Structure formats: C-alpha cells, structure tokens
Amino acid sequence: MPKYFLPALLACLSLLGGCKTAKPIQESQLPVWRGVHLWLDRESAAQELIPTLPRLAADGVNIVVLEINYSFQFQAHPELRDRHFITRTTAHKLAIAARQCGIRLIPEFNCLGHQSFGGRIGPLLKSHPEFSETPSRTLADTNVYCLEWRPQSPGLNEIIFSLIDEMAEAFEADAVHVGMDEVYLLGADECPRCQAKNPAELFAAQVNALHQHIVGEKKWQMLMWADRVIGPKFQGYSKYDNASNDLSAAIDLIPRDIVMCDWHYEWRKSYPSVPFLTAHGFQVWPAGFLPLKAAQAFSDFSQQQTNSLILGWLATTWNETSITNSPNWPPIREIIPCWRDSEK
C-alpha cells in the first residue's frame, strides 16, 4: 500500500462502527475505490476543493471524480470554454493537493449525451450546430431532456479528443470518465448519417472510438456510466432511466477493460445490474446518491457480492451539497467508511 493512503485510512477508523459488512483494515491490504463525484464547473469551486480534499481523505475517500465538461481553460479550442471555467494553473494545484492526501483525481467529460444543460445549449453544439443529432429540436421543445452530438460527424472526434487530452493532462490524471449516460436521441430519423442504423451499434462505435484514443493511444484508464448498456431491464423505468432506443446490445460490442459506473438512486431489494455487468467481465463501480436509505441498500448489496470485479463505492452529489460541506454530507460520511480495504 502506498504510504500516503495510511493517514486517510487511519483517520476514518473512528467512523466505521455503523457499517454492516465492513472488514478490519490492515496495512497489507489493497485499497478499494472509495470515491466522490463532484460537479466542478468554475474556478471558485476548484479553489474551494483544494482545502476540502484532506477532509474528504479523513472520511476514507481515495478517488474524486471531477465532472468538468466544458468548464476548462481549453487552449486548442478556446471557443468551447464555458463562461465560467477552471484554469490550467488551478488544475495543477488540485493535482498536487490530491496527491499529498492520497486521492486520485479522475476528470469527467460528458460525451455524446448531455450537450444541453439547464435550459441552454452547451458550447459544442452552439459553436458547431452541424454536430447535432437532432438539428430540428431546440430547447424550446420541452420533450427534449438533453441534446446529443451526432457521432458520425466528420471532424467531431478530433475536437473531442483534443478537449479530453488537455483536461486530463492539466489534472495530471491517469484515467478519464467519458459520461455516456442518458442517451435518448441516438439514431434519430432526421439524421442522414444515423437513420436506419442500429442505435446500439452507433453507441458502441462512439465508445470504441473513445476507448481507442484514451486507452489505446494515451494508455489511460476509461470509465463510463453503465445505464445505457444495462438497458431498461436492469436500470429502471423512470424518464431518466429508460429510453425508447434501447442501447443495451452495445454491451457485447465494447471492450471489457472499461470501468462501468453503475448508478441507481432508488431503494430496491436487489440490484441485479451489478452481477450482470461482472458476468460480462466488466469492473463495476456502484454509484449511489439519495435517499440515504437507498444508497445504503445499494452499498450493502454490492458488498455482499464478494466479487473482485466490484471496485468499491462512488457517492454522487449532484450539487445537493456544497463542496466545502461534502465531507459532512451523510451519503459520504456514513457510507464511504463502510468500504474497507479488501485482502490481497
């Protein structure tokens, strides 16, 4: 075990009394992934995170996923910066601060879906409307939850790869989360490049292009949300879980070394997507949110699987807590310490 993990692990010992399935920590054990997902969309938030990292480490956190998207000081494509963005200097400061307290930073850039945010079109489709999967749809259409880019667009991947590279290198990362969740519009009839094509194959092609660049060329690890590849059978049936264009067949068309972040936010007796994904050979990072009872149920179920492909636990926050308060937020403070390090 690297020496810098010990202070964080020892600091969380006092918090472990209420965990049902935890095992004693030993120095000879390997750390599980005890992660927190934070939305980092401006310089002030990044500055707040620097002094918060040691407090998260005291909770047992050893990974922080930073959802950055277009909120970064891109140099090759400055036109794609959000109005508020994180500077390259601050990204390096965060990387240094994270290393000092044994935390691995993994930046996230939402790919394919989520190209519109909170009532506004994101920088990519605003600057390049020709990349839109559904150019006739606008934010005035209340049936559109989030716009998507057209994965068959010439020149698109070169731009996206450039953005991912700049962001990952500034945060000194060895892994990238590519999003890929909540994709509803892929394979739209109005798209001349996608119409009549299998949406699952289109989805897999985008995943594979990202994998070839991130893993094949850059030698980084790649993570993505699992909801589209497990499909409605395992994900759920709310408007955020399900889609008319079932993409789940993509699971057999993509590399097995992608880490699948399997999110579920409702209480269930069991969460069969976890053994489903591991049976397909994927490493799985279960991800919970609110309500706390549901997160605890998902966490307990995942730990009970005793499968080495289950990496740990990811607490997603979605701005329900501030960055400075995140170490005290119950889904982090009460569940993260339950994931003790497993034996070699």
| pLDDT tens readout for residues 207-248 | 999 999 999 999 999 999 999 999 888 987 565 665 667 899
Segment 167-184 shows an average pLDDT of 96
pLDDT digits (tens, 9 = 90+) for 250-259: 999 999 999 9
* The pLDDT of residue 7 is above 50: no
Nearest alpha carbon to residue 283 among 196, 221, 232: 221
Residue 116, pLDDT score? 87
Rounded Cα distance between 206 and 19, Å, is 40
**Residue 319 pLDDT level (bands cut at 50, 70, 90):** very high
CB 225 within 8 Å of CB 264:
no
Are residues 340 and 16 in contact, defined by beta-carbon separation less than 8 angstroms? yes
Per-residue confidence (pLDDT) for residue 26, from 0 to 100: 34
Place of tokens 């998207």: 69
pLDDT at 18: 44
Residue 25 predicted with pLDDT over 50: no
Q: Domain residue spans in the chain?
A: 3-338
**Separation CA 218–CA 258 (nearest Å):** 14
Weakest mean pLDDT among 87-101, 106-120, 155-169, 314-328:
106-120
What 8-state DSSP symbol labels residue 28? T
- pTM for this entry: 0.89
Nearest-angstrom CA–CA distance, 109 and 294: 27
Helix (H) or strand (E) holding 110: strand 104-111
Q: What percent of the chain has pLDDT over 90?
A: 71
The predicted structure's pLDDT at residue 2: 38
CATH class of this structure's domain 3-338: alpha beta
Distance CA 114, CA 109 (A): 10
Q: Which whole number is the average pLDDT over 255-280?
A: 96
Across 7-11, 183-187, 194-198, 304-308, which has the greatest mean pLDDT?
304-308
The upper half-sphere exposure of residue 255, i.e. CA atoms within 13 Å in the direction of its Cβ, equals 18
Greater model confidence, 142 or 335:
335
Alpha-carbon distance of 143 to 120, in angstroms, equals 14
Q: Is the pLDDT of residue 320 over 80?
A: yes
- Average the pLDDT over 300-323 and give the result: 96
φ/ψ (deg, to 5) at 30: -90, 140
pLDDT of residue 194: 65
- Mean pLDDT over each residue of the chain, to the nearest integer: 87
Task: Report the distance separating Cα 193 and Cα 325, nearest Å.
Answer: 46
On the question of pLDDT at 8 being above 50, the answer is no
Q: CB–CB of 52/324 below 8 Å?
A: yes
Q: How high is the pLDDT of residue 27?
A: 33
What pLDDT band is residue 154 in, cutting at 50, 70 and 90? very high
Q: Is the dihedral of CA 234, 236, 241, 244 positive or negative?
A: positive
Identify the helix (H) or strand (E) that includes residue 234. Answer: helix 227-235
pLDDT score of 57: 97
Least confident of 139-143, 180-184, 301-305: 139-143
Q: What is the mean pLDDT of residues 39-51?
A: 97
What is the distance between the alpha carbons of residues 79 and 83, in angstroms, rounded to a whole number? Answer: 10
Alpha-carbon span 225 to 110, nearest angstrom: 10
C-beta of residue 229 within 8 angstroms of C-beta of residue 247: yes
Give the pLDDT of residue 29: 47
- Residue 284's pLDDT band, with cuts at 50, 70 and 90, is very high
pLDDT-derived band of residue 196, with 50, 70 and 90 as boundaries? low
Average pLDDT over residues 85-95: 98
Strand pairing of 221-225 and 259-263? Answer: parallel
What's the rounded mean pLDDT across residues 260-272? 95
